[in-house]
Amino acid sequence: MLLENLTRRDLQFSRSTEGAHYDVIARQLNIPTNKLKDELQILVDNGLIYTTINDDYYKSTVNA
């Protein structure tokens, strides 16, 4: 479910070349940041998202 939400077109995450800061993603998905960071790491480990300008910005490989 998290990946589906991260790849939706209406998220800033999918439109920006630098991705989105995890705080922005957490706010848009209404999830606590500590839970989100754990989920993001799983997605990174599986090659579904990646960090961009630093370790706090993420982008999906689906719409990269």
pLDDT band at 48 (very low <50, low <70, confident <90, very high): confident
Strand partners, 49: 60
Question: Domains of the chain by range and CATH?
Answer: 2-60 (1.10.10.10)
In which residue are the tokens 């993603």 written? 25
Say whether pLDDT at 53 is over 60: yes
pLDDT at 14: 54
Q: Evaluate if pTM is beyond 0.85.
A: no
CA distance 9 to 46: 21
User: Is 51:44 a contact under the CB 8 Å cutoff?
Assistant: yes
Q: For residue range 12-46, what is the model confidence (pLDDT) as tens digits?
A: 555 678 888 999 889 988 989 999 999 999 999 99
